Amino acid sequence: MSIQTRSGMQRGTITKYRPFTPIELPDRQWPSKMITTAPTWCSVDLRDGNQALPIPMSVDEKLEMFDLLVGVGFKEIEVGFPSASQTEYEFMRRLIEEDHIPDDVTIQVLVQSREELISRTFESLRGAKKAIVHLYNSTSEQQRRIVFGLDKPAIVDIAVRGVRQIKDLVASVPETAITLQYSPESFSLTEIDFALEICEAVVDVWQPTPAQKIILNLPTTVEVSTPNIHADQIEWFCRHMRNRETAIISLHTHNDRGTGVASTEMGLLAGAERVEGTLFGNGERTGNVDIVTLALNMYTQGVDPCLNFSDLPAIQEIYEKCTRLSVPMRQPYAGELVFTAFSGSHQDAINKGMNALEKSHSPLWDVPYLPIDPKDIGRSYEAIIRINSQSGKGGVAYLMESEFGLQMPKAMHIEFGKVIKHLADVRGSEILSSELYQAFEQEYLQRTAPFKLTSFEGRTILNKAGSEALECIATVNINDVPHEIRGQGNGPIDAFVRALNQHGLANFTLKSYSEHALGNDASTQAVAYIQLQTPAGAFFGAALDTNIEIASIKAVLSALNRSTQPIKFN
């Protein structure tokens, strides 16, 4: 395959990009450390997450999301940028005036280091019991040169002036305990010594103490290096900062390189104590760091994350409703397929692991391919182990294809999986491969009542418009009463469907159709799968025949019969 592009990637020696300069830290300590306690978590779903949505959340949706975050256990929540718009301001006032904020939760508000914005922010805070004022300005060489055209002293002055104003305005909200958070935006691209210089200038003005700490948030605004370099930046900063005991070092990692989780974990090893992020990683570009993944990673290592994801599907449902985003099916922990093994070897290993765990009565989770017990986060055991009462569509579909060559359509996996689950519940034992096929025969291939095909003939004719069409002449027994029907369509299935509907014998539409051969020789049978939409719902039918047209017609009747009769097993 030849890939043609207008400009194209460079080959060989790459001159368009330069590697990130590593930090000089030969005696780094973070590689030998472990995460043993949860950081302070701060959700930025209502700010960073919201501003990245194609359709930002309404005030009511933000309130629902806020309540969800409180329920999960967040004690610090960045609720918005109240000086940026009237909507943001009104949301802030509703939180305070309608008493949505629990006593143990601190709201955080974002503001640029601009005088009028800081004043408006403090107006929005009146009546709040506790608040973090999050001040930021860009500090990187790239931003200084391209965006602002300012030198380092001028950038430091912007930050310092903002801190002085905030310090002066604290008295205007005497009922509110104010914590200052400062972010040198684009810390990841800022010279490490200058990042330290500007943060220490902020600290000198604010004058924090070990009892009244400042939060220094060191954001990977754009992820530009490998996670180990990010960890070196954090450790270097922590080791060189004056009066380190007066500051909480916070991380705010984006996912541009796809390593946001790793960068955050390594940053915690390097000395950070606080993490800002979003549920499921929503945010600008490739997103913020995913706090769900971070927290559950800790949980699988025996560390209490201090966040409750016991009902992750319910959390996901509210998140998707409020953001109008979908959690990818391969998203760690939350994705639809993350606990599904389509490989037979994986299924076998999981099954043996589950059996061994049950026999051992050990409190330690120890199952191959499953780093976490799905039940801990509100997931079930469906579709993760071999075919028994806990099995699902993935394993059933795999065995049906590998053992019998039946390549059922994906949507049919769900339907037949329910058939097998019902059988497993009735039997109370493992279902053998032969029993799988027997259930398929009984549920699909042997469904010949009340509709049964007696004869079918198709022939090409000219319709009234003068175009070629297929006319079918068929005899169908309904409750053993024969009915001869005729119909025209663009093919045998279409003609047969029209004939049944036009003669008032059935009421349905064709939803999907697929077929394939079973074997390679001349006497090979074909299998057809038909899905019909009926007043009772959507139903699949299936049939085998050496003639693919006849298999398709029988499959239509199989689906019709299934729509009229409940599942039965001998």
Render pLDDT for 25-66 as a digit per residue (tens, 0 to 9).
999 999 999 999 999 999 999 999 999 999 999 999 999 999
Q: What is the pLDDT of residue 401?
A: 79
Q: Is 134 annotated as a binding residue?
A: no
**Predicted confidence (pLDDT) at residue 241 exceeds the cutoff of 90:** yes
Check the annotation: does 48 bind a ligand.
Answer: yes
Residue 343 confidence (pLDDT) above 80: no
The listed range with the strongest mean pLDDT (160-169, 406-415, 417-426) is: 160-169
Q: What is the mean pLDDT of residues 563-568?
A: 70
* Residue 54 CA to its chain's centroid (Å): 17
Cβ atoms 538, 511 nearer than 8 A = yes
* Top CATH class, 40-323: alpha beta
Integer angstrom CA distances of residue 543 from 235, 449, 550: 66, 14, 9
**pLDDT exceeds cutoff 90 at 119:** yes
The region of weakest confidence among 4-8, 220-224, 270-274, 477-481 is 4-8
CA-only gyration radius of the chain, Å: 32
CA 448 – CA 51 distance, rounded (Å): 57
Among 59-68, 344-353, 442-451, 511-520, where is mean pLDDT lowest?
344-353
φ, ψ of residue 480 in degrees (nearest 5): 70, 10
**Whole-number pLDDT of residue 404:** 87
Q: What is the pLDDT, as a whole number, of residue 72?
A: 98
The mean per-residue pLDDT over the stretch 438-442 comes to: 93
Residue 502, pLDDT score: 86
For the chain, the average pLDDT equals 91
pLDDT computed for residue 283 by the predictor: 94
Is 355 marked within a binding site? no
The pLDDT, as a whole number, for residue 557 is 96
Q: What is the pLDDT of residue 393?
A: 57
Residue 297's pLDDT is 98
Residue 463 annotated as part of some ligand binding site: no
Examine the pLDDT at 317 and tell me if it is beyond 80: yes
pLDDT digits (tens, 9 = 90+) for 166-179: 999 999 999 999 99
The pLDDT assigned to 359 comes to: 87
- Return the higher-pLDDT residue of 347 and 190: 190
Per-residue pLDDT, 350: 75
Kindly provide the b/e burial profile for residues 467-476, where b requires at least 16 CB atoms within 10 angstroms of the residue's own CB. Answer: eebbbbebeb
Phi, psi of 387 (to 5 degrees): -75, 95
- Kindly state the average pLDDT of the residues 220-245: 96
Which of these ranges, 186-195, 372-381, 546-555, has the smallest mean pLDDT?
372-381
Residue type, 207: Q
Q: Is the model's pLDDT at 345 over the cut of 80?
A: no
| Selection from 472, 481, 537 nearest residue 505 by Cα | 481
Q: Where are the alpha helices (DSSP H) in 20-58?
A: 50-51
Pairing, β 451-462 against β 468-478:
antiparallel
Please check the confidence at residue 522 and state whether its pLDDT lies above 70. no
> Is residue 569 predicted with pLDDT exceeding 50?
no
- Please enumerate in sequence order all residues whose Cβ is within 8 A of that of 481, keeping only pairs 6 or more positions apart, or say none: none
Residue spans of the domains in the chain: they are 40-323, 344-443, 451-564
Asked whether the predicted pLDDT for residue 558 surpasses 90, the reply is yes
Do 130 and 107 meet the contact criterion of CB atoms below 8 Å apart?
yes
Here the tokens at position 174 are: 């005497």
For 97-103, what is the mean pLDDT?
A: 96
Q: Is the pLDDT of residue 4 over 70?
A: no
- The phi and psi torsions of 34 (rounded to 5 degrees) equal -130, 150
Q: Predicted confidence band at 294 (pLDDT cuts at 50, 70, 90)?
A: very high
pLDDT at 395: 66
Q: What is the pLDDT at residue 208?
A: 98
pLDDT tens digits, 274-293: 999 999 999 999 999 999 99
Lowest mean pLDDT across 49-53, 161-165, 501-505, 546-550: 501-505
| Average pLDDT of span 250-261 | 97
Confidence of residue 80 (pLDDT cuts 50, 70, 90): very high
The residues, any chain, with a CB within 8 Å of residue 500's CB and separated by 6 or more, are 476, 485, 487, 506, 508, 556, 560
Pairwise CA distance, residues 549 & 453, whole Å: 12
Could you tell me which CATH number the domain at 451-564 has? Answer: 3.30.160.270
Confidence band (pLDDT; 50, 70, 90) for 386? very low
Report residue 67 as tokens: 């309540």
Percent of the chain with pLDDT over 90: 75
CB 173 within 8 A of CB 125: yes
The confidence score (pLDDT) of residue 389 equals 44
- State the amino acid at position 532 in one-letter form: L
pLDDT value, residue 424: 77
